[in-house]
Amino acid sequence: MRKLTIFFSIILIGLFVMQCSKKPANVEAPVAEKKPHEMTIHDDTRIDNYFWMNERENEEVIAHLNAENDYKTKMMKHTEKLQKKLYKEIVGRIKQDDESVPYKDNDYYYYRRFEEGGEYPIYARKQGNLDADEEILLNVNEMAKGYEFYNVNGLNVSIDNNLLAYGVDTVSRRKYTIHFKDLSSGKIFDEKIPNTTGGSVWANDNKTVYYTVKDSTLRPHKIYKHILGTDPASDVEIYHEFDNTFGTFVYKSQSDKYIIIGSYSTLSTEYRYLDADNPEGEFMVFNPREDDHEYSIAHFEDKFYIVTNWKAKNFRLMETPVTATSDYNWTEVIAHRDDVLLEGIDIFKNYLVVSERSNGLGQIRIINQNDNSEHYLEFDEDAYLAYTSDNHEFNTDLLRFRYTSLTTPNTTYDYDMATKEREMLKQTEVVGKFDSNDYQSERHFATADDGTKVPISLVYKKGLVKDGTSPVLLYAYGSYGSSMETYFGSHRLSLLNRGFVFAIAHVRGGEEMGRYWYEDGKLLKKKNTFTDFIDCAEYLIDEQFTNSDNLFAVGGSAGGLLVGAVANMAPELFKGIVAAVPFVDVVTTMLDDTIPLTTGEWDEWGNPNEKKYYDYMLSYSPYDNVIAQDYPAMLVTTGLHDSQVQYFEPAKWVAKLRELKTDDNLLVFDIKMDFGHGGASGRFERYKEIALEYAFMLDQIGIRK
């Protein structure tokens, strides 16, 4: 998905010192050549003057992108000291020699740790107890030497604990090569499997591996079986997803009993399963796919649990014997509720843990499998994020969960489901002077034009005077049913400590308020996402948090679409906009099924080959709706190797904005020539991008320290 979420006036007298710096004079912005390209469908012809930018290897394209980077550097040069200061602040709050809380799996305790100065993690484990000798699985710092980008994912240990499979991406295109390591000897096997998702699954024979490969559009479309020690060229194709609106994946049940192949589109899923002890067997379909039916499965003893939206928009929980999975011969365990979204489950020998969402907040519900008694975990704050994590052991009464909020750093707990006692194992340390009591978190509701109440979560440093003059960063995403969570980010302190309010608009298109919330912000209701954001902005102004000279809109990927649409619809509301890897050329992209991810997203945006969707998408597509008007100051970012939103979408958008906008406000375009959708791969390197974004906003309101 084009997901990616990016988290990133008047000065409070006595706190800041103004440092006047002049922006460079007579620096000319790049002017892209106009090469008209006609596109006709539904008797409508569009002229795209910048269509030529979609050729990644074209020297003219690269020259233009380099010119944009050069212009950005010159126009932001006066903020370089501020950027370095911000970067130093942000990185300085991070404990360099840090370690995750170990979790137990199959007699080993697994964790990752960072060493001082290291950009990448060290993955390690200890056998039996935490006092045992450390065994390093992978030292990514050593592996990444000589690479501009390096990412490892999908670490997967065989059931006999002796073999490790893992994926490596060195291009930032999210195409991983799978490698294998003998953990007893440290030997890396010769065979490599390219063009995968990075993940893999071991059968219980400790030699058979299942993995997923991608097609030319980066759609995961085939599952293969590999026998360790053989040539990957001879691997057997197990499953081919022919429907180009679906992708596929493979995983293992928590019970280690079944290998499971999943197929998914935006609105439909299907599963196949195979006994993990019998890798030569045939996969069986769990329940055939149907339009608008999404479900997931989890194995428990002699049955499967099913989280399903079959006749249940907000999902319900069902169960069925492993011998009778098809034809909806299922028994209801938890009924559908209009006001509660059922998000997922964790299974233990004696307990069933249910993750729910009510009134926009996550809830953890614990059900005793023996007597059906139940209770919820209780949390004190009005806005928070609580979620289950790293629960790999089946025969235990301990539930591992994490808790965070806009003022509380990420905290890991073990909760005894029998005694109802919780133990805090770790809270992420914020290095330096930090006290969560110095900050205030609040939850508000803006009223949309149609009367809908839209939640806003916000945080600021105590002492803030609500006189309409504070700078505000308003962030949102609003697509794919992805809920924007209220988690802590120590990097935000660099804004909060300079008088900013950080606010999240929980607009429709996410799933914060249930499945209905998502469906009211997609397809032919997509504009609700944009108008909700505008209503939230107006609410913050009306409630005297800020004014239009101090309000910034920030969004990334599909959130970049949001702020791009808002820039056309209500530019007067904002001082500045940060659009990170923005999905802004909606119609052209969704008409081109050769572009990665297009076909699988027709259920999200609509298929513009149908006129009703074409007309509606054309009415809000940011690129198509740029007009001659004043726009806020804008910082746009992308990566040349972006696999989710192709670099040429923001490149074309910036070129058209330069052509048509009638203001003198700053417009800069930052292109990472070595990276993709997620930016830099290093632990600290990515904060340079955040420092640039913060410096851009601070500079716009005159804060240069």
Q: Is 699 a catalytic residue?
A: no
| Helix, strand, or coil (residue 601) | helix
**Phi and psi for 430 in degrees, rounded to 5?**
-105, 110
Q: Is 642 a catalytic residue?
A: yes
Sequential DSSP letters for 546-584: --TTSEEEEEETHHHHHHHHHHHH-GGG-SEEEEES---
Which is the catalytic residue, given 520, 642, 670, 699? Answer: 642
Contact (Cβ atoms closer than 8 angstroms) between residue 127 and residue 107: yes
Contact (Cβ atoms closer than 8 angstroms) between residue 247 and residue 219: yes
d(CA 288, CA 333): 21
Q: Is 677 a catalytic residue?
A: yes
d(CA 276, CA 199): 17
Contacts of 198 (CB under 8 A, 6+ apart): 153, 154, 166, 167, 168, 169, 176, 178
d(CA 2, CA 508): 17
Strands (DSSP E) found in 73-192 = 103-105, 108-113, 122-127, 135-139, 151-157, 163-169, 176-182
d(CA 463, CA 457): 18
| Nearest alpha-carbon partner for 553 in 543, 360, 544, 572 | 572
Contact (Cβ atoms closer than 8 angstroms) between residue 260 and residue 250: yes
Which is the catalytic residue, given 263, 557, 643, 681? Answer: 557
Q: What is the total residue count of the chain?
A: 705
Instruction: Report the 10 Å Cβ neighbour count for 59.
Output: 8
Which strands make up the sheet holding 269-275, listed edge to edge? 247-252, 258-264, 269-275, 284-287
Task: Report the catalytic residues.
Answer: 557, 642, 677
